[in-house]
Amino acid sequence: MRKLYVLLLSLSLSLFLATAATPAHAADNGSWSVYPAASRIAARPYFYLSADPGQTIDDKVVVSNRTGRPLTFRLYAADAYNTARDGGFAVRTVAEKQRGVGAWARPAKTRVTVPAHGRVTVPFTLSVPEGAEPGDHPGALVALDERIDKGDGTVALGVQRAVAARVYLRVGGPTVPAITVEDVRVSHHQPLVPGLGDSGATISYTLRNTGNVTLNPKVELRATGLFGRTLLARDLVKIPGELLPGQRVRLSEPWRGAPQLDWGAVKLTASAKDTRESASAGFFALPWLAAVVLFAAGGVGGGLWVRWRLLRRRGWSRSSPRP
């Protein structure tokens, strides 16, 4: 059987503990790492840069090889974004269109060979255009191993690996922090028979950064039932650590033990520095069996009422005097 090759680009942005050859907070996948060159003061976990429109910044990035053989990398700059699945920090691939840091930063070398257990320092320039919007422009400098590991087996999975050093660029001008909560929905999971089995619900919502600075959001969840009773109140933990400008993330929160019979609303309040917004959605919890019984009772009652009306009309027409 012919092999099926699938190309995946894995951008490893996780942070690992320091080793003797790797500074703290370097982006590292175990084989190579990418990190900012140390400043005159100390090592830097990421590139924290600021510039005004029209200004050019010069800096250096280090690519370190932790293996016993030379490695060659494609070096490029990329824009950053939040993943749709969980809001994690991710960067564009080399084939995607770049609009911010990915378009403005240029390494002195686009390909670099790093000797075994060695490191190479590569200068780069970041030129902010005159018309650049003020605020945060996150991105990264990426070292991509262009080799494709095809693996073994009938169905082989081809993988390209990459490691990126984050770039946090702030362009001078007015900063506007703004966050919104959108499209709140509540879906219930009820047992067929009331009282027999666990009930729950899933609360889904969209968290959106409508401003021009990176936010570290917090989200509070509150659910109330009939007569304003508090059913649920907690701070959510499964939210992005950083919500980048212009990004939106669809998130969900499980509600175990949600009421099987109630009528109320859920309210989500998102906050970050100097911004706070809320959104709500109503819910009506009703077990399936109860819903079927009520529907059937309503149908029967409606049918009897129609029949009664028809019989009453016939009786009235028969009893009416003829001219």
Instruction: Write down the pTM of the prediction.
Output: 0.79
Place of tokens 């990264």: 140
Name, in order, each residue with C-beta under 8 angstroms of 248's C-beta and a sequence gap of 6 or more.
82, 182, 206, 207, 208, 209
Q: In this predicted model, what pLDDT tens digit does every residue of 106-159 receive, in sequence order? A: 999 999 999 999 999 999 999 999 999 999 999 999 999 988 876 565 555 667
Q: Write the CA distances from 154 to 1, 4, 61, 157, integer angstroms.
A: 7, 7, 40, 10
Bin 297: left if φ > 0, else alpha if -120 < ψ < 50, else beta: alpha
Question: Cα–Cα distance between 6 and 4 in angstroms, integer?
Answer: 7
CA angle 131, 133, 139 (to 5 degrees): 110
Domain annotation for the chain: domains and CATH numbers: 24-172 (2.60.40.10), 177-283 (2.60.40.10)
Place of tokens 């706070």: 276
The token pair that represents 72 in the structure block: 């060659």
Which residue, among 238, 235, 178, has the nearest Cα to 208 in the 3D structure?
A: 178
Question: Cα–Cα distance between 295 and 301 in angstroms, integer?
Answer: 10
* pLDDT recorded at residue 4: 37
Classify residue 286 by burial, with Cβ atoms within 10 Å: 0-12, 13-18, 19+. middle
Q: What is the CA radius of gyration of the chain?
A: 30
Per-residue pLDDT of the chain (323 residues; tens, 9 = 90+): 333 333 344 443 333 322 233 344 568 888 999 999 987 667 888 999 999 999 999 999 999 999 999 999 999 999 999 998 889 999 999 999 999 999 999 999 999 999 999 999 999 999 999 999 999 999 999 999 988 876 565 555 667 899 999 999 999 999 999 999 999 999 988 765 656 667 889 999 999 999 999 999 999 999 999 999 999 999 999 999 999 999 999 999 999 989 888 899 999 999 999 999 999 999 987 764 444 444 444 555 555 666 656 666 665 555 555 55
Name, in order, each residue with C-beta under 8 angstroms of 240's C-beta and a sequence gap of 6 or more.
82, 86, 87, 88, 207, 217, 249
Return the H-helix or E-strand segment holding 158: strand 155-171
* pLDDT recorded at residue 12: 37
